[in-house]
Amino acid sequence: MRDRKRVTGRSWKEQFIVLFFGFILSSFTGWLYETIVTWIVNGVYCDRGILHLPICPIYGFGSCILLCVLHRVKKPILIFVGGILITGIFEYICSYLIEYIFHTALWSYAGWPLSFDDRTSLVGCMIFGLLTVFYMKCLLPFSKWIYEKLGTKKSMIVVIVLLVAIIIDLLIFCYSSSTDRVAFLNP
């Protein structure tokens, strides 16, 4: 364990905290992006999150995958290209999983140029490529900064509180009636 800490510079607990902060920041950024784009396209406010909290967890999980794959990549152009490929595959797979679990589609790229099965689009993936660069160059360093300012003990308290809030919100969503979920997902 000592050699691992020396190589990474952080213990597993510290790495988890920074990763979790990145998850939260990415989930919020994704929610903000989706809500703003929907508002611009449709002209009305629509909360694009599936939870009551202002987050889209799919962006948080995506950011964790991006970090695992791209953590050693430094050049923004390579991060951008990697983001396009990884998010395209991730979005495509997630569209099937979400449709299978919730029996509804949460998004469609019907009518988008360069759409693949209406589940992902090269245009959307390019936007996600830009968001990947933003995550790797801005949100992740900000996550590290938050951790360093709070320290391990305060950071763990924040992580536990946020994790409990997300779990409770997810349980509320999962235990609502299926018609309520469908109406919530497709306003």
Q: Give the model confidence (pLDDT) of 126-158 as tens digits.
A: 999 999 999 999 999 999 999 999 999 999 999
Predicted TM-score of the model (pTM): 0.84
pLDDT reading at 74 higher than 70: yes
pLDDT of 174: 79
Cα–Cα dist 154/160, whole Å: 10
Contact 30/37 with Cβ under 8 angstroms? no
Specify burial of residue 119 (Cβ count, 10 A radius: 0-12, 13-18, 19+).
buried
Report the pLDDT averaged over residues 48-74.
Answer: 92
pLDDT-derived band at 79, boundaries 50, 70, 90: very high
Instruction: Determine which helix (DSSP H) or strand (DSSP E) holds 58, and give its type and residue range.
Output: helix 57-70
